[in-house]
Amino acid sequence: MAEIMETWERTLEIIKEKVSESSFKKWLSNLKPIEISNSTAKIAVSNAFVKDWVKKYYEDIIISALSEATSSPVSVEFEVTGEEEFVVGDEKVEVAGRELEQPINRRQGLCLNPRYSFEKFVVGPSNQFAHAASLAVASAPGGCYNPLFIYGGVGLGKTHLLNAIGLKIREKMPELKVTLISAEQFMNELIYSLRFERMDQFRKKYREHCDVFLVDDVQFIAGKETTQDEFFHTFNILYETGRQIVVTSDRFPQDLHGMEERLRSRFEWGLITDIKPPDLETRIAILKKKADINGISLSDDVAFFIASQIKSNVRELEGALVRLSAFSSLHGVPITVDLAKEVLKNIIKEHVSECSVEAIQRAVAEVYHIKVSDLKSPRRLKSVALPRQIAMYLSKKHLNISYPEIGYKFGGKDHSTVI
């Protein structure tokens, strides 16, 4: 155990150099090591909320620091050891015989991460509009873009923009009370407020002591009627009093199945913008910027290689860079394409999708701006017939299937049509 604690102390010293003092005290100083081996570290956290927050914002930093402290690549697992989940208000609440203090400053909501600012956000065609809208909201909260609804897939930068809005408002208008919260945490606080009969405090926190309401992953409350009802009334009061609301989700409001219609319609009152997966140039720019911020020497060819292999998720892109940097630092070798191929082989393998007729149809349809259903239809227009022939040719060339099977996949075409 003494050896584990010694390793952990070294790890904490490294972490202190990479995060602000307040962030370290609030989120990282109370983490405890359960086990540290050559390849895995198990870290104890006090409750589920802290676990989610640390995983989301500090996992990469912890992995990098542990890898440096142990001189070998290490993966991290977080384990909740406390019996409490979360606490509401500024008062102490006794849970499972223990006194817990609210870890959140009510005036400011959740701790905003300085790493996720507008200055560190890479703008490209896939996120340009969302970035511009977020910047406009941060410049004039409660103005014309209220509410602002940002949707897109996992790891594309929604949380980054949400955090950046909070940072900019707090910098320019420190008198405003900014609250950044996940929808899951909102639900957890509501549950404990009901359990401990503290609904008055809960409502005051979000309806009276909040000027900017930033909610991440709102799709989490779909199907949860009581939470939706409380969220609806909170939303109404904030909106009617001119306070800014920004919500993120993984899908468009009308596609939020299990979400009440009255909430979906309110999400559409303001501005809706999406974030799409970044193109190759943007992915390269993200890698280069991340490398510059962290002092990593990354050549253009290595950046191109990583960006060409990991295409859909910015978080995975940055995680790959952290892993590559840690390996390079621990083994004292420069970062090259060959090293990237070796270190990232498991990650890259996961992103190599299995080729199929359906995948070819989707790719061809996307290139020619038609629907997959057009490729399967009997239509003989040149705008459809040529893409169909190309898709059939590629299916035969790259897949070990017969002409009749290809014909069947293209709407029951005769095999002579395929030939």
Examine residue 375 and state whether it is found in any structural domain, yes or no. yes
Helix (H, G, I), strand (E, B) or coil at 118: helix
157: alpha, beta or left, given left = phi > 0 and alpha = psi -120 to 50? left
Examine residue 287 and state whether it is found in any structural domain, yes or no. yes
* CATH for 167: 3.40.50.300
The model's pLDDT over 280-299, given as tens digits with 9 standing for 90+, comes to: 899 999 999 989 988 888 99
Note whether 138 and 207 are same-domain residues: yes
**CA separation (Å) from 99 to 83, 84, 87, 93, 95?**
12, 10, 10, 6, 7
Note whether 227 and 150 are same-domain residues: yes
CA atoms of 206 and 193, how far apart (whole Å): 13
Residues 173-182 have a mean pLDDT of: 91
Which pLDDT score, from 0 to 100, does residue 217 have?
93
Examine residue 94 and state whether it is found in any structural domain, yes or no. no
Examine residue 75 and state whether it is found in any structural domain, yes or no. yes
Q: Which residues of 362-389 are buried (b: 16+ CB within 10 A; e: fewer)?
A: eebbeebebeeebbbeeeeeeebeebbe
Examine residue 260 and state whether it is found in any structural domain, yes or no. yes
Note whether 57 and 124 are same-domain residues: no
The overall pTM is greater than 0.85: no
Note whether 125 and 237 are same-domain residues: yes
Examine residue 97 and state whether it is found in any structural domain, yes or no. no
Final residue in a domain of this structure, among 351, 367, 399: 351
Note whether 326 and 197 are same-domain residues: no
Note whether 190 and 236 are same-domain residues: yes
Note whether 257 and 144 are same-domain residues: yes
Note whether 375 and 409 are same-domain residues: yes
Residues 17-38 have a mean pLDDT of: 81
The model's pLDDT over 339-376, given as tens digits with 9 standing for 90+, comes to: 998 888 877 765 555 568 888 888 888 888 888 888 88
* CATH for 412: 1.10.1750.10
Which pLDDT score, from 0 to 100, does residue 40 have?
84
Per the model's pLDDT, the better-predicted residue between 413 and 290 turns out to be: 290
Examine residue 104 and state whether it is found in any structural domain, yes or no. no
The model's pLDDT over 216-268, given as tens digits with 9 standing for 90+, comes to: 999 999 999 999 999 999 999 999 999 999 999 999 999 898 999 999 999 99
Note whether 134 and 167 are same-domain residues: yes
The model's pLDDT over 116-174, given as tens digits with 9 standing for 90+, comes to: 999 999 999 989 999 999 999 999 998 889 999 999 988 899 999 999 999 999 999 98
In this predicted structure, the answer to whether residue 383 has a pLDDT above a threshold of 80 is yes
Final residue in a domain of this structure, among 274, 290, 309: 274
Q: Are strands 93-95 and 212-216 parallel, antiparallel or unpaired?
A: unpaired
Which pLDDT score, from 0 to 100, does residue 131 have?
95
* CATH for 290: 1.10.8.60
* CATH for 54: 3.30.300.180
Residue 42, domain extent: 1-80
Which pLDDT score, from 0 to 100, does residue 110 have?
54
In this predicted structure, the answer to whether residue 95 has a pLDDT above a threshold of 70 is no
Domain count, the chain: 4
Residues 206-212 have a mean pLDDT of: 91
**87 CB neighbour count, 10 Å cutoff:** 25
The secondary element (H helix, E strand) that includes residue 222 is none
Among 6-20, 93-107, 210-224, the least confident range: 93-107
Split at pLDDT 50, 70, 90, the class of 10 is: confident
Q: Do 365 and 372 meet the contact criterion of CB atoms below 8 Å apart?
A: yes
The model's pLDDT over 52-90, given as tens digits with 9 standing for 90+, comes to: 788 877 888 898 888 888 877 888 888 887 544 333 333
In this predicted structure, the answer to whether residue 92 has a pLDDT above a threshold of 50 is no
Note whether 179 and 226 are same-domain residues: yes
Note whether 159 and 192 are same-domain residues: yes
Final residue in a domain of this structure, among 324, 351, 378: 351
Which pLDDT score, from 0 to 100, does residue 416 have?
54
Examine residue 184 and state whether it is found in any structural domain, yes or no. yes
Residues 83-103 have a mean pLDDT of: 36
Which pLDDT score, from 0 to 100, does residue 46 have?
80
Note whether 371 and 321 are same-domain residues: no
Residues 165-188 have a mean pLDDT of: 92
Which pLDDT score, from 0 to 100, does residue 415 have?
47
Split at pLDDT 50, 70, 90, the class of 418 is: low
- H-only helix segments in 24-97: 48-57, 59-70
